[in-house]
């Protein structure tokens, strides 16, 4: 009987372990939410993606411009919304993902149209006690930076020199 009493851990160690677990889970979620980004394509017109082919050879050739192209005529096919919950910088990884998405949809590129900040509801982390009570662990107000891009495709020149739709 004495051996069992020695092997059993005191309640303080269990509390310490659960506190460490809750704190590590909170930090993981905080890091995850801090670095979240999303990309969404909203088509303006109905088109069949299997019939449209981009003029580019590879997804690496897709253009991401700061303003609308001036040298060639283009047709707008939709909008791209990029939401960023982090520090506001869009990583090279996300630019590559945007280029791949545009290439798969038959677009030649996109140009930036607008940017802004959207308030989001706060994230509340809750923890529970052994008695079943819940307590607020943390409340994080959030803002999402939103970039809006316009997806376009260059018009193909007709044989008489004019461009077609």
How does pLDDT run across 10-19, given as a tens digit for each residue? 555 566 666 6
Whether 164 is covered by a domain: the verdict is: no
Task: Name the strands in the sheet holding 134-154, side by side, starting at the edge strand that comes first in the sequence.
Answer: 37-43, 74-84, 134-154, 109-128, 63-65
pTM equals 0.58
User: For residue 30, what are the domain limits?
Assistant: 1-34
User: Is residue 89 located within the same domain as residue 133?
Assistant: yes
**pLDDT value for 119:** 73
**pLDDT value for 111:** 92
Whether 28 is covered by a domain: the verdict is: yes
Whether 162 is covered by a domain: the verdict is: no
- The per-residue pLDDT for range 40-79, each reduced to its tens digit, is 778 887 666 556 667 788 888 999 898 999 988 998 888 8
User: Is residue 63 located within the same domain as residue 130?
Assistant: yes
Whether 80 is covered by a domain: the verdict is: yes
The percent of residues in the chain predicted with pLDDT above 90, rounded, is 5
Nearest to 151 by CA among 39, 44, 37: 44
User: Is residue 72 located within the same domain as residue 100?
Assistant: yes
């Amino acid at each position: 009987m004495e051996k069992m009493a020695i092997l059993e851990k005191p309640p303080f160690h269990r509390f310490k372990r659960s506190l460490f677990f809750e704190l590590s889970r909170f930090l993981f979620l905080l890091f995850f939410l801090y670095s979240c980004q999303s990309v969404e394509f909203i088509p303006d017109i109905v088109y069949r993606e299997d019939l449209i082919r981009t003029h580019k050879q590879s997804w690496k050739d897709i253009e991401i411009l700061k303003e609308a192209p001036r040298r060639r005529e283009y047709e707008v096919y939709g909008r791209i919304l990029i939401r960023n919950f982090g520090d506001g910088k869009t990583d090279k990884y996300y630019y590559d993902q945007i280029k791949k998405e545009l290439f798969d949809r038959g677009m030649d590129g996109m140009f930036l149209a607008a940017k802004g900040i959207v308030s989001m509801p706060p994230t509340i982390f809750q923890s529970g006690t052994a008695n079943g009570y819940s307590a607020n662990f943390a409340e994080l107000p959030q803002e999402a930076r939103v970039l809006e891009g316009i997806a376009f495709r260059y018009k193909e020149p007709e044989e008489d020199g004019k461009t077609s739709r």
